[in-house]
Structure 1
Amino acid sequence: MDVLVVVLFVPLILSLTNRQSISARFLSSSVVHWLGVISFSIYLVHKLVADMCQPLLVLWLGRHGINHAAFLAGLALIIPSLAISAACFAWIEQPSRRLSRKLLDVNVKRNDQAKTLTEAEALCGVSSSN
């Protein structure tokens, strides 16, 4: 199986060099881009959703005589996982990123100011450490 993946990887990479290829158009689609944007949230959320909801959903489907309950429950949980992941991205991850950028900017400005002050003190022969 690993050999097959390696062998098929080369044509995939070559097909991506042509922007008109099916694989390049698929990977540049807005849906795939959106999934990439929220991928970290999906990674964090999917296991929680599966562990909490899948046993109940499998039980419910089994009681109603539906075959392949585990498979269908897994498919059905994709939508809530994506919805919760999108919400976590919008309400937790993006605000956290903005806050961290703001804090980093403040620290960079403080470091620049401290560096400038130290350089000025050195030029004047004054030391603020005393």
Structure 2
Amino acid sequence: MPNPTDIAVRQKSRVLEIAFDDGSRFAIPFELMRVYSPSAEVKGHGPGQEVLQLGKREVGIQGVEPVGNYAIKPLFDDGHESGIFTWDYLYKLGSEQDALWSQYLGRLQAAGFEGDSGRAPGTALPDAAPKSGCGHHH
């Protein structure tokens, strides 16, 4: 797997910019990192035990601690700091952003949340159908 050549935390745009030695460059939104944190708090302790993260659109990163030569540990401003993001995992988050956003939005909608959490920056969810019955009665 590629190794990072540059990592920058962009507070204003709320993204982690990361460049890899294979030429790939990604801007990974803090929200995506937070809702896909590889910690037990988020992932659970086995398949099907994931904890859906809500309301993380405004989450920030206060700092980043290196973990050996293979990972970083972001310190999120909501107090979450137990996720260890390996280079491979950051590469996956960067390269599969669109699919991961779609999965997250699907999980939000399945759980009955259609509003403000989980929307990819700059995108809007489709308007929900009117909730006034079947539409044949006035």
TM-score normalised by structure 2 residue count: 0.30
Structure with the bigger percentage of strand: 2
